[in-house]
A = this chain, B = another copy of it.
């Protein structure tokens, strides 16, 4: 039997999140995750540098989808409308991952080091969105303000989404968060 298995990464993530939910994040070892996924530790380390990275494996995809959504925005869209267009594919991605997101959110919430890492990932995302806006001809100031506003809208909607039961609510929560931002910043 070949040691190669389809979607080894996906199986490692599922196994990890099952074990984190069953016995806690701290108590779970890489060996246990690999065993539960029916793979070796060596295979685990082909995909993740450590246990923590399993929790952040979605952030590259989040950024890629967000930027793809922005690229599809009409040429005459305002800076914030471009950023918000990125949230369509993001909402789609997250809707399929409500269970993962809820377990993950509880782990991150309980661990200051993971919270820091989460913040850095969000800032990196805001930086990539800013760069994509500037690339489209938006001024650096407006780009930075729109990017950070969009990431905060996402962050607020995400916190609500993991706190409630309906996986499909993410898109609606983003719209509510955006409406609230507009109301808060209205002169």
Contact = CB atoms under 8 A, between A and B. Distances in A.
Interface string A112-156: 000010011001000000000000000001101110110011011
Contact of A149 (B116, B120, B142, B181): B181
Interface residues of A, number: 28
24 contacts: A78-B184, A79-B184, A80-B184, A116-B120, A119-B120, A141-B160, A141-B180, A142-B184, A144-B156, A145-B152, A145-B153, A145-B177, A145-B184, A148-B148, A148-B149, A148-B155, A149-B181, A149-B184, A149-B185, A152-B152, A182-B185, A182-B186, A182-B187, A186-B186
Q: Which 8 A-B pairs rank lowest in CB-CB distance, beginning with the nearest?
A: A148-B152, A185-B185, A145-B181, A119-B123, A146-B184, A145-B184, A142-B184, A182-B187
Contact of A181 (B155, B160, B183, B185): B185
A119 B35 CA distance: 38
Nearest to A159: B144
A141 B181 CA distance: 9
Contacts of A183: 142
Contacts of A153: 145
Nearest to A79: B184
A133 to B, nearest CB: 10
A185 B80 contact: yes
Which one of A145, A146, A149, A160 has the greatest number of beta carbons of chain B within 10 Å?
A145
Nearest to A176: B141
Contacts of A152: 144-145, 148-149, 152
Given A119-B120, A146-B185, A148-B149, 9 more contacts: A80-B184, A80-B185, A119-B123, A141-B156, A141-B177, A145-B180, A149-B152, A181-B185, A182-B185
Interface string A158-187: 001000000000000000010011111111
